[in-house]
Amino acid sequence: MSTSARSEMDLPQIVGVSQAIREVLRLVDSAAPSDCCVLIEGESGTGKELMARRLCAKSRRKAEPFIPVNCAGITQSLFESQFFGHVRGAFTGAEQNMLGMLRSADGGTLFLDEVAEIPLNLQPKLLRVIQEQEVMPVGHPIPVKIDTRFIAGTNRNLRDLVNRKEFRQDLYYRLNIVRVVVPPLRERPEDVPALLDHFMAFYAKQYRRGPLAVSSAVRSVLVSYPWPGNVRELAAWVERLYATGLDAEVLVEMLLVEDEPRRDLTPPAQMSLDQVERRAIVQAMDLSDFNQRKAARILKVHRATLARKLKKHNLA
């Protein structure tokens, strides 16, 4: 196998047939070979890290470290130490030298996920690191040179944050050399069938099960569903299908229930008594995370009664 063919196989798999996702991939692929900063914006669950990994995989740094950092998950008191590193004795508890994330990514790529969460007082230091390619570890007076590419991701609009003085303008311009906006799944419904087939094949292998049937009616509902959690939510729905063994029709009904106000149990007036009963059971099972004992308590019926009703409505 040729090196180019092998590198294509190593690419993170981004599934989609829509014009929108093809345009995003073209932009990502055109920016990948350079070392410029790339800002990836998109709602949670759209696949920003996959895009960042693709940028790395198609760059000259593909054999070097790719370090993803969740900026929202680092407390402000530890931010400087974890980012820039420290030397032994720099502060109480610093019992040994620590490289920090910036130096750990030396030669490779650092993905700053949720970059908007970096404290304002530390943003000038990050800007200097990006511009000068050198790090000043805590407790170390001499800067250390690095060779790192920076990719930033955010589910917020950085331009709006800059206008509200909640993000530094100079850092925004430094990160925003190439801006990639990953569209939400509701804006590219034609990608849902391809993603559905992809995740079904993946989880069939993961759970060592044969392919499961999803009817055209269910597929139609999934395509029209708004997917507030985007691709991540669709993947979770497919995994639930394989993990629970419930029919796709049942799970799609639960999905629609989740999209309604979770505690609104008032049925539409045109529903039959059987439909009202089935809907109430589906909602109770969803609220109880499939625990029949809890669901029975929500419905205020005996567990044996619920078990009988589950069979009656083909929910068990």
Fold (CATH) for 189-312: Helicase, Ruva Protein; domain 3 (1.10.8)
pLDDT for 52 equals 97
Residue 38 has pLDDT above 60, yes or no: yes
The residues of the chain that CATH labels 3.40.50.300 are 3-183
What share of the chain in percent tops pLDDT 70? 85
* CA nearest to 111, candidates 50, 157, 67, 51: 67
The class that CATH gives domain 3-183 is: alpha beta
- 92 vs 132, residue with greater confidence: 132
pLDDT confidence band for 282 (50 / 70 / 90): confident
The residues of the chain that CATH labels 1.10.8.60 are 189-312
Are 150 and 107 within 8 A, CB to CB?
A: no
pTM here is: 0.78
| Cβ neighbourhood burial of 24 (10 Å; 0-12, 13-18, 19+) | buried
Residue 7 has pLDDT above 50, yes or no: no
Q: How far apart are CA 182 and CA 24, in angstroms?
A: 7
| Cβ neighbourhood burial of 152 (10 Å; 0-12, 13-18, 19+) | buried
Give the Cα-Cα-Cα angle 263, 266, 269 (nearest 5 degrees): 160
- 262 vs 87, residue with greater confidence: 87
Q: What is the mean pLDDT of residues 276-291?
A: 76
- Taking only the tens place, the pLDDT of each residue in 202-228 is 999 999 998 888 999 899 999 999 999
pLDDT confidence band for 297 (50 / 70 / 90): confident
- DSSP-derived pairing of the beta strands 134-135 and 149-154: unpaired
- DSSP-derived pairing of the beta strands 149-154 and 109-113: parallel
